[in-house]
Amino acid sequence: MSIQGPSGGGKSTLLNILGLLDSPTSGTFRIGEVDTIRLADTSVTRLRSDSFAFIFQSFHLLEQRPVTDSVELGLLYRGVTPALRATRVHKALAAVGIAHLAASPVHTLSGGERQRVAIARALASGTPVVLADEPTGNLDSAHTAEVVECLKTLHKTGTTVILVTHDPDVAAHAERHVTVVDGHVVSDIRDTRSSEARLLRPAPVAPGRASMLRVRDLWKDAWRSLLARRGRSYGLVLAVALGVALASATLGVSWSAQAQVSDTFDARVNRDVTLTWSNDIGDADGLTGRLLDLSGVEAVAIVSDYGGHTVQANAVRPRFTTRIMGAQGDLIAAGRLTVEWASPHSDAVGPQGILIGRQLATELGLGPVALRPSIYVGGDPRTVVGVITDSPRIPDLLTAVVVPNGAPDYANDSVITTALIRTVPGAAQNVASQAPLVVDPFAPMDIVVNAPVDPADLRLEVEQGVRTTLGIVTAIALLGAMASLMNAMILSVSQRQHEFGLRRAVGARARHLSNLVMVEATLLGLVGGIVGVVLAIVTLTAITIVNGWIPILDLRLIPAAVLAGIVVGGLGGIGASVKASRTQPHLALRS
């Protein structure tokens, strides 16, 4: 049957209504005994899938995909198995003479070849009615003749072909001629003999089930859709990957940095216990030994501050008043001193050997310590065997004279004694509670104890702050990736309106389109998550190598990061999936 008439007369509107792509504003439209006006959208979609195939003037093919994908589209939404789809697609392409183009991308075909693909799609669907909207409108006379022959071949199989055309030569091949002017049918001419012959041929029945989509086919179709738009897909994958990589790398770097900070904390301040009291002790060596016997103690030094005494570089240089410190035990280790020795391996200081602080050495104008200069301390000559360049626990040592083997000759009634204790990691609190009892078991409360905060509590507090900060940074990164994906997916849906309209026309339900977009977004998130993990590992490795750290990556982060990518993809696709589900099938007839 041909439908003719002037432009704007209502031909396409009539075709929309006949194919259930649109509903009339009034009246009834029955297919068999079914009043289509009263049907819900899902029922209309099923009926359209069972009854109609479409051939469009603008072809409406899946441009960047192989020809077979466009031809099998109607079968895809009838749940037909891949094997049967392949068989019907091959027969349909052979019937229109382009079987050799089955694997060719659609965008490489000529106009005539594209129209044949559209006809092959209608032929493969096996529906009893084919609606063709100006199928020869964009073709020259040679290709027009080829398309007409294809439609006649389709008609011979028992299929009813309803053709909208402006070309009277094309319309002449029809058995029934309807003319539409200003929305009214002004003529309806039938070829009785041809119609009677047509009634003797059984109408084809479409294979499969109406408006059905297999889950496996949905995922394959979504993957092929992404591959068909590689540039856009790569960009979206990169957006997700960067968000996941930033989040993962931030966590990895934080763990590595935290390990280094924890080691430093444990190796320094977290292991220092200091005891101070205001009277001298008689047996410093004995006290040092008793403190060393405490569980968890690594090094002990007893430092006695004997107050100010005069020092001078030589008999003709001016005198200075500075502190004299007597030391017993392992002052270098317990005090964490840095010393420039007069000679390497200066383990034995000797009875007259002393250490002086860097600032005092400068004030005295001493030469190189390697020359082992002598100075006068309280009038007695002493040999400088080392210069203290750093004293983090007792900064006053930088301006003092230190007598490593003790200095009882300088004792007085106002001696301040300090015990420097170095513990193993985690033992500081326990040592701090026991050491005062060792120093003075009768009045331990008179001992001033300086110990680090409980490392467990302090670390928990620091880690909580770090986790909160990193959580915010991670959330911002993932939200940024999700927003980018969402905007791009919504824009993509807007650009694919004709494709989605075509899918609705050939039998896809609204939820099929929604699921397609969601699966595409999920696949983008999955691939983006995997790429993001790789980028994060590379970034973490590079940062830790540059800083000389040991890279720390919890293996549980890998599946978590991939899952984060999937979640970002899924959430990013929600808006686009809703928009896709609202696509109306009549959009397929628009150029």
> Where exactly are the structural domains of the chain?
2-212, 228-264+458-589, 280-414
Residue 462: what pLDDT? Answer: 59
Quick one: tokens of 161? 């072909």
Decide if 588 contacts 56 (C-beta within 8 A): yes
Residue 262: what pLDDT? Answer: 55
Q: How far apart are CA 305 and CA 407, in angstroms?
A: 10
The DSSP symbol for 377 reads E
Task: Write down the number of H helices and E strands in the chain.
Answer: 20, 18
Question: 448-450 and 52-55 as β-strands: parallel, antiparallel, unpaired?
Answer: unpaired
This prediction's pTM: 0.66
List C-alpha distances in Å: 253 to 57, 311, 508, 544, 548: 58, 52, 47, 7, 12
Decide if 325 contacts 369 (C-beta within 8 A): no
| 366 Cβ contact list (under 8 Å, min separation 6) | 313, 356, 373, 375, 384
Quick one: tokens of 256? 């590595």
Quick one: tokens of 509? 């339900």
pLDDT in tens, the chain (591 residues): 889 988 888 888 888 889 898 888 888 888 888 888 888 889 999 999 999 998 887 788 998 899 999 999 999 999 999 999 999 999 999 988 899 999 999 999 988 888 889 889 988 998 999 998 888 777 778 778 888 888 888 788 788 899 988 888 888 888 888 999 988 889 988 876 555 555 556 778 889 999 999 999 999 999 999 998 888 888 888 888 888 887 777 766 666 655 555 555 555 557 899 999 987 666 777 889 999 999 999 999 999 888 888 898 887 788 888 989 989 899 999 999 999 988 775 556 777 788 999 999 988 888 888 888 889 888 888 889 999 999 999 999 999 999 888 767 777 767 889 999 999 887 888 999 999 999 988 888 989 999 876 655 655 665 566 667 766 777 777 787 788 888 888 888 888 888 898 899 899 999 999 999 999 999 998 998 899 888 888 877 787 777 766 666 667 778 888 888 888 888 888 888 999 888 888 766 655
The DSSP symbol for 307 reads E
Which CATH superfamily is 2-212 part of?
A: P-loop containing nucleotide triphosphate hydrolases (3.40.50.300)
